[in-house]
Structure 1
């Protein structure tokens, strides 16, 4: 069994063929998926997908690209929405200085609000970080001193220092199809340094399809290709990486473990 810990099943790419996409995922051994929130205002769409499909969980939060659209959603609102049985995490939230679609100060403020919501709800935070390593390290370190919270650095494509600090702070690190790209030697090197008990796999579908599907619309079934590369990097078998990342998923996303009746191994 594999888990696609991060995808966007509400996006238009899947609207007309969601049943086909979920069936393909199951056939590839990807039995659980998390459809990730980019707008709190779209909560009902995420909830509807998860309620209709046993294999899908969901999150609630505001992507940094959209922080300026939802700059003032309070933490208690996010916490209240996260009480849905199939809502297993807060986010994705964070910092994206590559596109700067929202002002950086707004991104930082909204990110801290989501950290507060993660802390209050007890749910992990899905962290988006791109071209913002230093500010991300500063905010995560500062907020962790204020009170601990679980989190994952999703679709990791940052520098080694952020990975190291994340692990030191207790975070998990998730790798997407980027790991399979020919020019991603540095990301594979970093992945090899992450403790095995902190590794996750994802697609970030419909983006970043792994080799051999690069350039196509990504989908959860393709998590198997990333897992295969991660197994090579970690020096383990595909079966071992599947069990390892699935165990790690349920350890971090403990609410999903409760829903699925999975006993969490410490």
Structure 2
């Protein structure tokens, strides 16, 4: 199988000691392409640096909502500059977070709208972080849609209900599912993944977070090789072979993020 992990944070300190080995283990599991996602200026710059060093990695640049209140005056200029980089495939992660509630909601929305404008301007998809803010996230995207709709986008580590999924799909977004679908308590989320239109489905780890079952509780750190467990669970729920779903999600990611070669 060939897989693409559409959301990692491999620039985090926890991978400093064994990043080449982590990438090698991913390759052994069939994961030959990984996206390294920024959450602020520094991690976006680090994501680009890693993408320059490793052919398996591509970068996503932006400011995650929990860090919107820590930005500097020239951060938007720098993120805009980075978004034009050859190895950058998307803008984000952006969106809204009403769980941690670190940044004021109006500031989160301001940055969210700015990322949507940047996505439209640079011609690259946007990646959305949403935690306990589904209604407001959908509202902002609906407001930002013009006559041509929204730019292509992804609801990363989707955790919403079937109605939120429907609204996001109507806006043209893809849904990306993480290890959360492997947890016993998340049967409703797995059902959403099972019902997701075939051409809108993606998989991710969000590593080092959200270790999937059966690795959960046995390792402290998630890594791209483990995306196969998420894929297997969704394939089982959809009643299709894992190899078929791997080919499908890989084709979806390659098309959405304009990957060639």
Q: Give me the TM-score of the superposition, normalised by structure 1.
A: 0.93
Cα pair distance change 1:198/1:71, threshold 3 Å: farther
Residue of structure 1 in register with 2:243 after alignment: 239
Deviations 1:45-103 (A, max 9, x none): 11221111110001110011101112755755433211111100000011010111111
Alignment RMSD:
1.4
Between the aligned partners of 1:225 and 1:82, the Cα distance in structure 2 is 31
Pairing of 1:175-214 with structure 2 (within 5 A): 175-214=177-216
* Separation in structure 2 between the aligned mates of residue 160 and residue 135 of structure 1, nearest angstrom: 16
| 1:227 aligns with one of 211, 228, 231 | 231
CA distance in 1, matches of 2:13, 2:55: 21
**3-state SS of the aligned residue for 1:45?**
helix
* Aligned: 1:167 with 2:169: yes
User: Is the 8 Å Cα contact of residues 157 and 178 (structure 2) preserved in structure 1?
Assistant: yes
CA positional deviation for 1:175: 0.2
Deviation at 1:245, TM superposition (A): 0.3
The range that moved more, 80-89 or 22-31, is: 80-89
Deviation, structure 1 residue 208? 0.4
Q: Which residue of 2 aligns with 1:264?
A: none
CA distance in structure 2 between the aligned counterparts of 1:192 and 1:43, rounded to whole angstroms? 32
Quote the Cα distance in structure 2 between the aligned partners of 1:72 and 1:150: 28
Q: Which runs of 4+ in 1 moved over 3 A?
A: 71-77
Are the counterparts in 1 of residues 98 and 131 from structure 2 also a CA contact under 8 Å? yes
More moved, 65-74 vs 203-212: 65-74
The equivalent residue for 1:138 is 139
Measure how far apart 1:120 and its partner are. 0.5
Find the residue that maps to 2:214 and give its secondary structure: coil
Alpha-carbon displacement from aligned partner over 1:149-194 (angstroms, at most 9, x marks no partner)? 1100000111222211111111000000001001110101111221
Contact kept, 8 Å, 1:76 with 1:117, in 2: the verdict is no
Structure 1 unaligned regions, length at least 5: 262-266
